[in-house]
Structure 1
Amino acid sequence: MSSVNATIQLITRAEAESAPASAGTCSTELAAGPWEYDAAEAAAGAPAYGPGASSEDVAPAATPRQAQIPAEYKQASDEELHERIVAAKRTLGDRAVILGHFYQRDEVIQHADFVGDSFQLANAALTRPDAEAIVFCGVHFMAETADILSTDEQAVILPNLAAGCSMADMADIDSVQECWEQLEEIYGTEPDAEGRVPVIPVTYMNSSAALKAFCGEHGGIVCTSSNAATVLEWAFERGQRVLFFPDQHLGRNTAKAMGVPLENMPLWNPRKDLGGNSEQTLEDARVILWQGFCSVHKRFTVAQIEQARIDHPGVTVIVHPECPMEVVDAADSAGSTDHIRKAVAAAAEPTTFAIGTEINMVNRLAAEYPQHTIFCLDPVICPCSTMYRIHPAYLAWVLEELVEGRVVNRIVVDQDVQVGARVALDRMLAARP
C-alpha cells in the first residue's frame, strides 16, 4: 500500500495533468516540502499551521516558526534522505533515540526506534537514559513533555519547530488563569463537608507545559485519551467539579460515559465573560468544558458512518474520543490510538474496519493487517497539518548536525514550569485505568 505522502503526490500529479484521480485530498499544497510553508510564513510575517486538517485554525502570534534548512536537504531525493538518515543513525548509535508518533508519515516512522502515542513515547524515552539526544518526531507539546520527564543531560529535539498543535494552542495560560479567577469568584476556595475543593483543573496531554504546570500548582492532573475516565474519577474524589481543557470532545465523551448529564457540562468560551454562561449554570456544573477541539477528529461525521454501514454491511466502526459526541455515539467503539491499534490486532477473523482517526495511522494499520479491510471514515486524504511538517529532510538535518556535535531545534522547558508540570504528570502516571 502506498504511503499517504506518495498518494498525495499521485493525486496532485493527476490534477495537474487533468487525469482522473482515485481519491482526493483536502489540499494539494501537502505535496510541497514543508520548507515552502516555512518560507511563506516568514514572508507573511505570521505563523500558520500549514495545509491539512488545521489549515483553517488561527495560529497564535507566539507560535514557533522554523527557519530554512540548508538547500542540500530540500533538494535531496527521497532515496538520498533515507540513506543519509540511516548512515547518521548508524554513526550516532545509542547516543540518539528517535521517537515517532502514530500520526507521522511513513517515510519518518520507518526510522523511529519507538512508535506510539505521546504518552507512550514519553515513557519510551525514559528507557533510554543514556541517550544524549531524544529526537521527537511529533509536535511541540510532546517534545516539552519528553524534556520534563528526561534527565537534564539529555537534549530533546523537534525536527521542525513549526510542528505545533492547534488544539493545544486553543487554551493558553493567560486565558486559563483568567477563567480560574472567575470561577473562584463564584465558587470560593473552601472545601465542602467531604473535603472536596470547589473545582479541580484537568488538562489533556495535548497542552502546553505551562498548562500542565498550572494543574500541578492547583491540585490538578494531566490525562491521556487512555486514562481520561480514571483521571476524572480521581478528580471527582477531590473536587466538586472539573475544569477540563483544551479538548471539549474528549471531556464530554468521557464524562457522558460516566453518567454526567449533558446539562451539567457547560462549554467555556474564553472570549466571553464567565465563558458565556450564567452563574447558576456554573454552580450546577460537574464538568466545565473548554472550547477547544482537534481539527483532524472534527472532520469525522455521522453521515460518514452511515455511508460506511451502507457500503460495508457488518463493518466495525472505531473512532477516537476526540471526535464529536454524535460520532462517538454512532460508532461501535471509541478509544485512544492504542485502543484502536489493539482492537484491530485482536480481531481473529477477517474484519472490515472503518476508523475515525488520523489518516497516516489508518493507512499503516491497513498495510500491517492485510487480512482485514481497513479504511478511514473520511474519504478525503487530510493529514494532521502539524505532524506533516516533520519531513525526512528535517530528520536528516538534525541527525547530521548531531553527528557533527551540534544540537539544533532543542526544546527546553523552564525549570520553574517543569516543577509544577512534573507534579501533574506524576499524578497522571499514578492514575492507571
Structure 2
Amino acid sequence: MEHNELKEKILELKEKLPVTLVAHYYQRDEVFELADITGDSLELARRCKADDKEWVVFCGVGFMGQSVKVIAPEKRVAMPKIACCAMARMIDSTYYDESVEFMEKAGIKKEDILPITYINSSAEVKAKVGEMGGMVCTSSNAYKIIEKGLASGKKILFIPDRCLGQNVANMMGLKSCVIGDGKDPNEADIICYDGFCSVHQLFTVDDVKFYRKRYPGIKIAVHPECDPAVVAVSDFCGSTSQLIKYVNELPEEQKVAVGTEYNLVHRMRDKNIYVLSSTKPECPTMNETTLEDVYRTLKEIEKGEVVNEIQVDEKTRKWAKVALERMFEL
C-alpha cells in the first residue's frame, strides 16, 4: 500500500474508532505526525489517563505502554510494536534483588536502602521499588526526587541508568559509585546500577571538541543519559522537554549541537542546529513502529482481535502505581 493511501486509511480509522493515537518524541516522522498526543514518556501516560477514548494506541517502547496501564487501568492499551527499550531490559526482578544483596553484603542494611528507578524500567521493577518504599523518577525531576530521597538519611539505590544517577550526584556535589566498579558503596551517597542508554553513549567529549572548534560560540545541549564526561563539557543538560525549551529559547542565529535521539533533534529547528555525533544517533527500538504497524493495529481494534494489548497483573500494577504516585506527590 502506498504511503499516502496508508495515511488516509489510518486517518479514516481514527475517526471511526474510539481510539487515541499516541507517539513518543523519538518515533519516526511518518508516525509522529499522525498522533493525537505527543511527548515524553511520563507526559504521555498522564495525558492518556485524562483522555476520554476507550483505546490508547501507543507508539513507543514497552515500558511506556505499561505505564499507561498502571496509571489508568480502565484504559485498553494496544501497541503497534511492543518494542523494548534496551536500558529497561538491562534490569529485571532478579538483577534488582542482586543489587540489593550487593549493598547488604557491603554492610548496608536493607531498611537503610531507598530505591529509586528511572521511568525507563518495567512495571515489574517499578513494583519491586514500590514495595521497598521507593519511587520513580524521570530525567526532568531526578534531581528533586533524589534530593527528597536523601532527606530520609538512607542510601540511594538508583536504577537502571548509571549516567543519570552519576550526573545528578555531580550536580548535587555528592559521591556516587556504580555496582561492579570496585568502589565501596558505603562511601557513596548514590549507588548506581550499571545500565545505560546505547544511543546516548554515542556522544563523546571529542564530538563536543569538534563542534566547538568548527563553530566558535556554538552551544552544546545534552540529555542526562549522556556520559558524565560529556555533560561536564556541555552548556546545558536537560530532559527531552527541557532540551526542546532550551533550544526554542535560543536566538535563531545561535548555533547549537544537541546530544540526544536523532528524530527529536531534526524536528527542533530549521537551521543552525546539529546532531552532536559523527553517526546517526537513532534509537533502533523506537524506530521499529511503522505506518503499516499502526494501520494493522487499528484494523485489529475494528475487528475486536487485538494482538499486542498491554496487560499488567494486579499486584504488579498496585505497587508500580505506588512508586509512581510517590513521584507525583512531589
Same fold, judged at TM 0.5 (above): yes
Alignment partner, residue 319 of structure 1: 222
SS at match of 1:388: coil
1:363-390 deviation digits (Å, cap 9, x = unpaired): 1113xxx3x4111011322410100111
Alignment partner, residue 77 of structure 2: 156
Give the whole-Å Cα distance in 2 for the aligned partners of 1:308 and 1:277.
35
Alignment partner, residue 43 of structure 2: 120
1:226-270 deviation digits (Å, cap 9, x = unpaired): 000000011101242100010000000011100103xxx22114x
Question: Does 2:159 correspond to 1:234?
Answer: no
RMSD of aligned residue pairs (Cα, Å): 1.4
Aligned positions of 1:4-83 closer than 5 A: 76-83=1-8
CA contact (8 A) 2:200 2:281 kept: no
Give the whole-Å Cα distance in 2 for the aligned partners of 1:298 and 1:330.
15
SS at match of 1:179: helix
Question: Does 2:299 correspond to 1:400?
Answer: yes
Given the alignment, which residue of 5, 26, 31 partners 1:103? Answer: 26
Cα displacement (A) at 1:131? 1.2
Corresponding letter in the other structure for 2:168: T
Give the whole-Å Cα distance in 1 for the aligned partners of 2:213 and 2:182.
41
Question: Does 2:1 correspond to 1:91?
Answer: no
SS at match of 1:98: strand
Aligned positions of 1:103-252 closer than 5 A: 103-128=26-51, 130-152=52-74, 154-161=75-82, 163-185=83-105, 186-189=107-110, 197-252=111-166
Give the whole-Å Cα distance in 2 for the aligned partners of 1:80 and 1:311.
44
Equivalenced residue count is 329
Give the whole-Å Cα distance in 1 for the aligned partners of 2:245 and 2:142.
18
SS at match of 1:317: strand
Cα displacement (A) at 1:349? 4.3
Q: Which runs of 4+ in 1 moved over 4 A?
A: none
Distance 1:151-1:284 versus aligned 2 partners, 3 A rule: same
SS at match of 2:73: coil
Corresponding letter in the other structure for 1:81: L
Higher Cα radius of gyration: 1
Percent identical residues:
39
Structure 2 unaligned spans of 5+: none
SS at match of 1:226: coil
Give the whole-Å Cα distance in 1 for the aligned partners of 2:252 and 2:5.
40
Question: Does 2:206 correspond to 1:303?
Answer: yes
Give the whole-Å Cα distance in 2 for the aligned partners of 1:379 and 1:117.
25
CA contact (8 A) 1:200 1:239 kept: no
Cα displacement (A) at 1:406? 3.0
Given the alignment, which residue of 167, 179, 183 partners 1:268? Answer: 179
CA contact (8 A) 2:252 2:272 kept: no
Give the whole-Å Cα distance in 2 for the aligned partners of 1:352 and 1:182.
46
Cα displacement (A) at 1:292? 0.6
Give the whole-Å Cα distance in 2 for the aligned partners of 1:244 and 1:106.
33
Corresponding letter in the other structure for 2:56: I
Cα displacement (A) at 1:284? 1.8
